[in-house]
Copies of this chain bind each other. A is one copy, B any other.
């Protein structure tokens, strides 16, 4: 029962006062990386897993911190970002429930080179390097999953680079909205859908490599063109097909 609960966005009341092995195993069974593992394997993993509850704004790690494992989001949102010498920040990714991060750094045995901060009160699991490495030696299929995961990550990142370098601000925003709509899985009758931004507009703007101001302006333009209706953090799309076809135009 906590399994589904804790993969929702909103934290809700703490289901588990403190993590015992059995509960951990139940959580682990739903981790993408460990899907289909039998109880024995999960128990081995549980030894190196620790639950983390972090408040909104808390920093999980800074650039330069040593890495002892990887993280998995159970609920809430974690932002990965780096900060320039002048203090400006660029959000690389907003991690949502079910997603994990920090694997690559862990495998390289180097310190983190980005920082992670909770955008909302969040609950996550920390999986220690040691148990991952042990399991890798033991189980080739586990290796395959890790490789698949890293490949996927790489793909996304290249897609991001493509987005940043080939698309205008407006195109990036339209693309973001369309993707967000897709992943939300809402049916939306006859092309009408509403999506709720997962976090503040400023953060999303940074994720899309835009300033908050520019983001706001483009949203306004899209609204003026009748392609969207902005209502606080909720965006209504009267005709998603039209947004897809004419949204990119300028």
Q: Given A136-B144, A150-B147, A161-B160, does the pair A104, B166 have CB atoms closer than 8 Å?
A: no
Shortest Cβ distance from residue A41 to the other chain B in the assembled complex, whole angstroms: 16
Which B-chain residue is minimally distant from A144 (CB atoms)? B136
A143 CB within 8 Å of chain B: yes
Provide the bound-state CA to CA distance between A166 and B157, in Å.
16
Inter-chain contact A157/B157, CB cutoff 8 Å: yes
- For residue A165, CB closer than 8 A to chain B, the reply is yes
Question: Interface residues of A: mostly helix, strand, loop or mixed?
Answer: helix
Decide: A104 and B143 in contact? CB cutoff 8 A. Answer: no
Contact indicator A143/B150 (Cβ below 8 Å): no
What separation, in Å, do the CA atoms of A104 and B165 have in the docked complex?
A: 21
A209 at the interface (CB under 8 A from B): yes
Q: Which residues of B are found within 8 Å of A136, using beta-carbon distances? A: 140, 143-144, 147
Contact in complex: A92, B209 (CB < 8 Å): no
B140 and A107 contact, CB distance less than 8 A: no
**Shortest CB–CB separation between residue A188 and chain B, in angstroms?**
26
Of A82-90, A214-222, A232-240, the one contacting chain B is: A82-90
User: Is the Cβ of B104 less than 8 Å from the Cβ of A155?
Assistant: yes
* Given A108-B148, A150-B104, A158-B157, also A88-B166 (CB < 8 A): yes
Closest to A103 in B: B151
Bound: A105/B167 CA distance, A: 23
Q: Which residues of B contact A164 (CB under 8 A)?
A: 161, 164-165
Binding site for B on A (CB under 8 A): 82, 84, 88, 90, 92, 103-105, 107-108, 110, 113-114, 136-137, 140, 143-144, 146-148, 150-155, 157-162, 164-167, 209
